[in-house]
Amino acid sequence: MAKYIIKGGIRLDGKIEAESAKNAVLPLLAASVLTDEEVIIKNCPPILDVESMIRILKELGVKVRYEGKNLIVNASAMHGYTIPYSLSKEMRSSIFMLGALISRFKSAEASYPGGCDIGLRPIDLHLHGLKQMGVKVDEAGGEIVCRAERLKGGDIYFDFPSVGATENIILAGVLAEGRTVIHNAAKEPEVEDLQHFLNTMGARVSGAGTSVIVVDGVKKLHGTEYKPLFDRIEAGTYLVAAAATGGEIEISNCNAEKISALLHKLCDNTCKITVKNDIIYLRSGNGRKSFNIETLPYPGFPTDMQAQMVALAAVSDGISVIRENIFETRFKHVRELNRMGANIVVKDRVAIVSGVKQLAGAKVTAHDLRGGAALIVAGLNAAGTTVIEDVRHVERGYYMPEQKFRALGADFTRID
């Protein structure tokens, strides 16, 4: 089992480039099966979640290959619509395939998806939307079976702006009969990116980035070549790590507007942020100040940055209050941070963080993707050596973090 060994207390300094977003690439891969023509997804990092999605596509008869960091997808020989449990359990994003498979075959079969254990993430909104489009859904024994004689558009109303459900209904709607209107749609940048991608394939999707998305079904989609948007969570993680070490870094291939909620909080923490074109420059201030955070759907503060900010709050002067509104058990990293000398108390969905000057290296375990990223942030700050075990969670969403952190001057080693 792989682990990271970090010798902390070193100020991060240097330049890196943000990767394409995991949470954009996965729905794009699902969308790529909606045409028999070749699709090229550029600058696609081979992280574990992407590799899991590729295994699903290959199981269904899709040809997928890498050329450098470009992913070439050809679904012309695709023959299957059943995702086996052995593959769907690996990650939650396998659920994106429901909308795509229903769109292509009018049938889809899958097991309930896996992913990080951060609380209940029901797929009822996904299934509700599909039912409104004429899909018959049967659930039994952890399996989901979807069938549709005709896939027709309609008005879909969500009680919560779910990113995955919004993307699934878009995928189902692009080849459906008539118009699909999604009300209370998720506004995340990754949803906008899916819209842009599909429209380059000949789809007619509009409104992404607002609460109402309109999908006018078309008869056929064609191939495309597309570069996904930057990974705002990856970029944010490196910015927070720089702040936690008193560092100074530049990250290129970014869009600062898409992470403005995070940048404002880093400024509250005394960091100086400068933006020029696609580059975000961060210089840490004198000392670190406490801050308060409440996670919310976009454009609010992203839940995927909560854990990393808890780690930063742990070494910031004063008391920070961080409320998690999206997932009910997303504080597993707190126990590990407290092992490193942090002073954090969790009450229901709120973490109360009393800052200390510096953490101490310890042996800790990554329980989920973003919690593992928080432990990296903590280890980079800590005096002494930190050993992070079970880092497969981290590598589901971060491409070669050891190389990137070493490029910023960190003493960071990965051991198999």
Q: At the top level of CATH, which class does the domain 22-226 belong to?
A: alpha beta
Whether 22-226 and 3-19+230-415 are alike in CATH topology: the answer is yes
Can you give the chain as a three-state secondary structure string?
CCEEEEECCCCCEEEEECCECHHHHHHHHHHHHHCCCCEEECCCCCCHHHHHHHHHHHHCCCEEEEECCEEEEECCCCCCCECCHHHHCCCHHHHHHHHHHHHHHCEEEEECCCCCCCCCCCCHHHHHHHHHCCCEEEEECCEEEEECCCCECCEEECCCCCHHHHHHHHHHHCCCECEEEEECCCCCHHHHHHHHHHHHCCCEEECECECEEEEECCCCCCCEEECCCECHHHHHHHHHHHHHCCCEEEEECCCHHHHHHHHHHHHHCCCEEEEECCEEEEECCCCCECCEEEECCCCCECHHHHHHHHHHHCCCECEEEEECCCCCCCCHHHHHHHHCCCEEEEECCEEEEECCCCCECCEEECCCHHHHHHHHHHHHHCECEEEEECCHHHHCCCCCHHHHHHHCCCEEEEEC
Predicted structure pTM score: 0.96
Are 361 and 336 spatial neighbours (Cβ–Cβ below 8 Å)? no
| pLDDT value of position 368 | 94
Q: Which residues are catalytic?
A: 116
- Record the tokens describing residue 246, joined without a space: 């008193």
Sole residue written with tokens 């998690």: 324
Are 269 and 263 spatial neighbours (Cβ–Cβ below 8 Å)? no
Integer Cα distance of 18 and 15 in angstroms: 10
> pLDDT digit of tens for each residue in the chain (416 aa)?
899 999 999 999 999 999 999 999 999 999 999 999 999 999 999 999 999 999 999 999 999 999 999 999 999 999 999 999 888 877 777 888 999 999 999 999 998 875 444 444 468 899 999 999 999 999 888 889 999 999 999 999 999 999 999 999 999 999 999 999 999 999 999 999 999 999 999 999 999 999 999 999 999 999 999 999 999 999 999 999 999 999 999 999 999 999 999 999 999 999 999 999 999 999 999 899 999 999 999 999 999 999 999 999 999 999 999 999 998 889 999 999 999 999 999 999 999 999 999 999 999 999 999 999 999 999 999 999 999 999 999 999 999 999 999 999 999 999 99
- How many residues appear in the chain? 416
Are 135 and 147 spatial neighbours (Cβ–Cβ below 8 Å)? yes
Taking every pair of Cα atoms in the chain, the longest distance, rounded to a whole number of angstroms, is: 64
Region for 28 from its dihedrals, namely left if φ exceeds 0, alpha if ψ lies in -120 to 50, beta otherwise? alpha
CATH of 3-19+230-415, picked from 3.65.10.10, 3.30.750.24, 3.40.50.970, 3.40.640.10, is 3.65.10.10
- Record the tokens describing residue 98, joined without a space: 């429901």
Please give the C-alpha separations between residue 79 and each of 3, 29, 62, 150, 351, in angstroms, as whole numbers. 39, 16, 8, 19, 48
Q: Parse the chain into domains and list their residue ranges.
A: 3-19+230-415, 22-226
